[in-house]
Amino acid sequence: MTEVEKMRSGLPADMSVGEIQVRFERAQRLLARMRVMSTYETTYRELLEELLPGIPKSTIVCSPFYCDHGDGVSLGEHVFVNANCTFLDGGMITIGAHTLIGPCVQIYTPQHPMDYKERREPKETAYPVTIGEDCWIGGGAVICPGVTIGDRCVIGAGSVVTKNIPDDCIAVGNPAKVIKKA
């Protein structure tokens, strides 16, 4: 099993190996070029499609945008990702159709060991994050590794989502708690 396969399956992966470093470098080079462009430029869209394979034409990702790999991000139709978002996509990040992602939202899939001695090694695990359809993730929210947010949810600005949120809920706070169910 390759280190990329380990990373995507939630097993500890060695982040220092060449196959992972090449992926980081590729993504960072594309992102650096995109940061000096408007989302309205044809070249921006071409680079975005290279970074995020399979991105629908109806989906918008504003610059600046940051990610680790790019190919670990799957966006549905009519998704809108506002400026200054960070998606650490060692594990898969899947966002459903018609979902709005506010500015400065951070979605993390990597998880480092709790033991400080183990953390000295260049290894990490990654757990997928899934956000359903028709959601609104408020600006500055943080979505932690392994979280699933159901369909039609609203996550309040600045919230830190550490646990799954069921369909049709409004969740706010740190840690985010459901305050309303539809």
Which residues are the active-site residues? Answer: 112
Identify the helix (H) or strand (E) that includes residue 136.
strand 136-137
- Of 49, 66, 79, nearest to 108 (Cα)? 66
How would you label 144-182 residue by residue, b for 16+ Cβ within 10 Å and e otherwise? bbbbbbbbbbbbbebbebeeebeebbbbbeeebeeeeee
Neighbours of 106 (CB within 10 A): 16
Q: CA angle, corner 66, sides to 60 and 71, nearest 5?
A: 75
Peptide linkage before 64 cis (omega within 30 of 0): yes
